[in-house]
């Protein structure tokens, strides 16, 4: 019953996960899997009232919707429960639940410490807008009430027996209860408490509402033991080179003898102890220096003091990087991807099995209209068409399935295999058909239509768009040293006008050639036409406002928006319009399509990353809020620009203070998110680790290392691997397609389809066993 649309690209944005498929897990089990009954001669009866024809149809509709959206069918199937079930999974209800989850997560930006300030820099930050006590608490209580209703509906629909088996719903109950208790404590303390446990629990609401997020989390959990050996090898590699480094770069002294008293004295040699002083002074410093080198963030800084003395020392650092960064880290990426892909394949197998089970259940309830019909195992075509007219699904899938079903109208019935085959249309591509070209009687108009509908017109338009971008780049290069007041904006404006007139001409002739509907049936035409109309409107506004070409008038002093600002907006739109070339280049079109599919279909993986960010940000605020404060000697003059910030203390080069990283802190939730992102990128992340270890404690390094392992090592590598999987899948499917075919085919890419060739179809015996175990659909075999 949990939402699965974040990754699967389902029909109306909802799917579920109550109960789990166990057919593949129990294959060969001696107790109840290999049953020797004859399916063809089975008798079935469904407990029902006097008027059951509509109940059959309603049950079949819900089972097919479950199959389309990869939901479990283990829920109540009486008429009232089915109406509640369909209402719960309606678009408005699921969108409302998703909006509630978004609101409760976004409260972290408004709650104390509030992120409602222009800057996060403690040197120039104005006081944040703090909502009054009870404002965010009231919103949160409304959200908790909605979650309670959501839990009540889910619990009712699956029944008490299934509820006790579902760990996620039990956890849902515990999280809501703890949140309410913590909310009461917060209100009783006048919202003045610093530690809010419920903030740490809020990401659970996002997790429990997505089936594939939970599967992803389970896959990550199962993958961790598999990569433990590589992590251990990486730690051994790090410790080994740490000890070697401490032996190589030990503290040295220079001995000299005093002439007056003839006694020996020792002084430090700063030049020879540079490496020890900066990177290998203690064991923790050595480990951290080499760990940062593993991410290449401090290369070559870490080896410069030693390398300046002897070029042979570079062998130590190069050997460490080659083994650790290029071998072990990449091996770790490969193992993570391979193991995770295997567990993800198991999850996809479960989803495919759910679809087959839902289709089989729909056939079963439609065929249960009497012992004779059940024995023959067939359903009436009119009943199938009636069911399909009620199912909530995409229109082109409904049309395809209905068309195939009507082929059996002459025989009036279809058997189980035929019923299953009509739903194979769900796994096929939808070919987008463009409207026919308008018919013109005039021979001249027909010739013009042929010319203006030719592909070369699009090529010419792309060349003109390229020329426009080149002109803008040329003008920008020539005027790069001039201020906005010194630039000749009128010349650039006239150049843009000429190109915009051509764009308008191109749009008009394409509308003439293809017709309004035909023109709008191409997504690139919609993009192109919208920007052309917007550019034309801006151009007319410029002429009305500034009455060009009166170049003697300085419009900047007579208008709220200067001519340069309007021309800059026009140039930005023209550069953005140049993206129209993407659909006309096959490889580029595939890359762009892959990116769009990632946004639509891999949101579950991004959702897990949001959860991890949220949890680490909350922990970071608890641990480090207000830890780093500007020194007392730092002052800000009346003008708050960065040039007017003065300091009265010295700063070591490359440190947090010298680099001006003051806005990166844990003083509020938004600033914490940005700091975690900076650390995930691992560029100069050692500056943050060093600063917080100096301002707080050395143990703070554990927090940053854990975040680096979670985000940069684990999650980024997984995300990159899935991008590759998505692109390879689309490349293989479109390898024989032309550019036009790529435009016409609507790829419904999902994780289920990406792994479709690797999954196994469940057997009929397994499907019947699962139907027999349905807790609410009482079948007698």
pLDDT at residue 259 is higher than 50: no
Full-model pTM: 0.75
Pick from 138, 48, 193: which is nearest to 779 by CA?
48
Range 4-11 average pLDDT: 35
- Give the per-residue pLDDT at 752: 53
Residue 454: what pLDDT? 85
| pLDDT band at residue 3 using 50, 70 and 90 as cut-offs | very low
Distance CA 352, CA 635 (A): 64
pLDDT (mean) for 681-690: 89
Residue 668 buriedness (CB in 10 A; 0-12 / 13-18 / 19+): buried
What pLDDT is stored for residue 638 in this prediction? 37
Q: pLDDT band for position 202 (50/70/90)?
A: very high
Helix (H, G, I), strand (E, B) or coil at 430: strand
Instruction: Check residue 424 and give its pLDDT.
Output: 83
How far, CA to CA in Å, does 323 sit from each of 296, 304, 331, 761? 13, 20, 10, 43
Residue 586's pLDDT is what?
Answer: 62
Rounded to 10 deg, the angle between the 603-624 and 700-707 helix axes is 170
Please give the pLDDT value at position 439.
Answer: 87
Confidence of residue 761 (pLDDT cuts 50, 70, 90): confident
Query: Does the pLDDT at position 15 exceed 80?
Result: no
Q: What is the mean pLDDT of residues 547-576?
A: 60
pLDDT of amino acid 482: 73
Q: Is the pLDDT of residue 129 over 90?
A: no
Higher pLDDT, 575 or 430: 575
Q: Is the pLDDT of residue 736 over 70?
A: no
Q: pLDDT for 521-532, tens place per residue?
A: 887 788 888 888
* Residues 305, 502: Cα–Cα separation, whole Å: 61
Predicted confidence (pLDDT) per residue in 703-722, tens digit: 999 999 888 888 887 777 77
pLDDT score of 182 = 92
Q: In the 3-class helix/strand/coil scheme, how is 93-121 assigned residue by residue?
A: HHHHHHHHHHHHHHHHHCCCCCCCCCCCC
Question: Does the pLDDT at position 556 exceed 60?
Answer: no
> In this structure, what token pair is assigned to residue 662?
């003051």
Give the DSSP per-residue string, 400-467.
Answer: HHHHHHGGGTTT-EEEHHHHHHHGGGGGSPEEPPPPPPPP-SSHHHHHHHHHHTSHHHHHHHHHHHHH
SS3 content of the chain, % helix, strand, coil (to 5): 65, 5, 30
In the prediction, which pLDDT does 671 show? 93
Q: Looking at residues 529-539, what average pLDDT do you find?
A: 83
Tokens of 163: 């509820």
Q: Which stretch of 98-112, 146-160, 592-606, 763-777 has the lowest confidence by average pLDDT?
A: 592-606
Contact 139, 146 (CB under 8 A): no
Instruction: Give me the pLDDT at residue 31, please.
Output: 41
Q: How confident is the model at residue 290 (pLDDT cuts 50, 70, 90)?
A: very high
**pLDDT tens for each residue of 591-647:** 776 676 666 666 777 788 889 999 999 999 999 998 888 876 565 443 344 444 445
Q: Give me the pLDDT at residue 485, please.
A: 67
- On the question of pLDDT at 12 being above 80, the answer is no
**Residue 153 above 90 pLDDT?**
yes
Please tell me which residue, 78 or 524, carries the higher pLDDT value. 78
pLDDT for position 63: 93
DSSP for 512-531, written as a single string: HHHHHHHHHTSHHHHHHHHH
> Is the model more confident about 57 or about 722?
57
Q: List, in order, residues 6 or more apart from 523 with CB less than 8 Å away.
A: 583, 743
Looking at residue 177, what is its pLDDT?
A: 95
pLDDT digits (tens, 9 = 90+) for 361-396: 999 888 875 434 444 578 888 888 999 999 988 888
Top pLDDT among 217 and 9 is at: 217
* 405 pLDDT above the threshold of 60: yes
Q: Specify the range with the lowest mean pLDDT, choosing from 153-162, 357-366, 748-757.
A: 748-757
Helices (H) and strands (E) in the chain, counts: 33, 8
In whole numbers, what is the pLDDT of the chain averaged over residues? 77
């Amino acid at each position: 019953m949990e939402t699965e649309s974040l990754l699967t690209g389902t029909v109306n944005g909802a799917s579920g996960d109550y109960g789990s498929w166990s057919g593949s897990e129990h294959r060969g089990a001696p107790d109840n899997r290999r049953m020797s009954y004859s399916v063809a001669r089975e008798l079935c009866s469904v407990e029902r009232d006097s008027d059951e024809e509509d109940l059959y149809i309603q049950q079949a509709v819900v089972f097919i919707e479950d199959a389309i959206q990869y939901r479990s069918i283990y829920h109540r199937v009486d008429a009232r429960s089915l109406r509640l079930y369909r209402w719960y999974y309606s678009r408005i209800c699921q969108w409302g639940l998703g909006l509630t989850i978004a609101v409760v997560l976004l409260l972290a930006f408004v709650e104390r410490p509030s992120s409602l300030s222009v800057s996060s820099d403690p040197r120039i930050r104005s006081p944040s807008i703090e909502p009054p006590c009870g404002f965010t608490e009231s919103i949160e209580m409304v959200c908790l009430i909605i979650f309670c209703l959501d839990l009540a509906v889910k619990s009712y629909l699956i029944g008490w027996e299934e509820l006790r088996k579902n760990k996620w719903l039990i956890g849902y109950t515990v999280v809501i209860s703890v949140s309410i208790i913590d909310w009461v404590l917060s209100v009783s303390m006048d919202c003045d408490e610093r530690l809010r446990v419920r903030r740490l629990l809020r990401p659970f609401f996002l997790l429990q509402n997505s089936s594939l997020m939970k599967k992803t989390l389970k896959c990550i959990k199962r993958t961790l033991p598999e990569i433990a050996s590589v992590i251990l090898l990486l730690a051994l590699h790090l410790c080994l080179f740490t000890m070697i480094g401490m032996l190589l770069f030990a503290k040295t002294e220079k001995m000299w003898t005093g002439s007056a008293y003839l006694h020996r004295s020792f002084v430090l040699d700063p030049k020879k102890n540079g490496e020890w002083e900066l990177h290998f002074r203690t064991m923790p410093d050595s480990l951290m220096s080499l760990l940062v080198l593993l991410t290449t963030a401090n290369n070559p800084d870490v080896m410069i003091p030693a390398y300046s003395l002897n070029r042979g020392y570079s062998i130590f650092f190069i050997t460490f990087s080659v083994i650790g960064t290029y071998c072990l880290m990449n091996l770790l990426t490969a193992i993570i991807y391979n193991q995770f892909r295997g567990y993800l394949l198991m999850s996809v197998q479960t989803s495919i099995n759910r679809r087959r089970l839902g289709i089989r259940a729909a056939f079963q309830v439609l065929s249960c209209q009497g012992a004779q019909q059940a024995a023959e195992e067939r359903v009436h075509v009119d009943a199938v068409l009636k069911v399909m007219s009620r199912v909530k699904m995409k229109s082109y899938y409904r049309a395809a399935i209905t068309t195939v079903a009507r082929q059996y109208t002459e025989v009036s019935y279809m058997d189980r295999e035929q019923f299953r085959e009509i739903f194979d249309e769900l796994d096929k591509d939808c070919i987008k058909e463009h409207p026919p070209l308008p018919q013109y009687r005039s021979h001249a108009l027909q010739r013009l239509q042929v010319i203006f509908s030719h592909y070369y017109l699009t090529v010419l338009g792309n060349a003109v768009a390229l020329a426009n971008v080149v002109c803008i780049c040329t003008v920008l290069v020539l005027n790069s040293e001039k201020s906005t007041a010194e630039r000749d904006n009128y010349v650039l404006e006239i150049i843009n006008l000429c190109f915009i007139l051509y764009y308008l001409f191109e749009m008009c002739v394409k509308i003439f050639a293809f017709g309004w509907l035909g023109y709008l049936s191409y997504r690139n035409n919609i993009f192109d036409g919208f920007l052309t109309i917007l550019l034309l409107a801006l151009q007319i506004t410029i002429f009305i406002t500034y009455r060009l070409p009166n170049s003697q008038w300085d419009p900047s002093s007579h208008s709220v928006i200067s001519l340069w600002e309007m021309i800059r907006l026009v140039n930005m739109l023209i550069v953005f319009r140049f993206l129209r070339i993407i659909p006309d280049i096959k490889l580029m079109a595939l890359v762009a399509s892959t990116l769009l599919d990632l946004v639509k279909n891999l949101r579950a993986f991004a959702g897990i990353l949001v959860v991890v960010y949220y949890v680490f940000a909350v922990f970071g605020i608890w641990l480090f809020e207000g830890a780093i404060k500007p020194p007392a000697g730092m002052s800000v003059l009346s003008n708050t620009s960065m040039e007017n910030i003065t300091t009265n203390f010295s700063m070591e080069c490359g440190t947090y203070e010298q680099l001006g990283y003051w806005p990166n802190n844990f003083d509020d939730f938004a600033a914490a998110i940005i700091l975690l992102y900076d650390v995930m990128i691992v560029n100069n992340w050692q500056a943050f680790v060093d600063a917080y270890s100096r301002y707080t404690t050395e143990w703070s390094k554990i927090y940053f290392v854990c975040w680096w392992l979670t985000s940069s090592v684990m999650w980024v590598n997984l995300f990159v691997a899935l991008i590759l999987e998505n692109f390879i899948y689309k490349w293989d499917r479109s390898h024989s397609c032309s550019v036009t075919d790529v435009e016409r085919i609507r790829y419904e890419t999902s994780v289920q389809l990406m792994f479709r060739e690797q999954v196994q179809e469940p057997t009929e015996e397994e499907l019947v066993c699962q139907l027999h175990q349905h807790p609410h659909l009482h079948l007698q075999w």
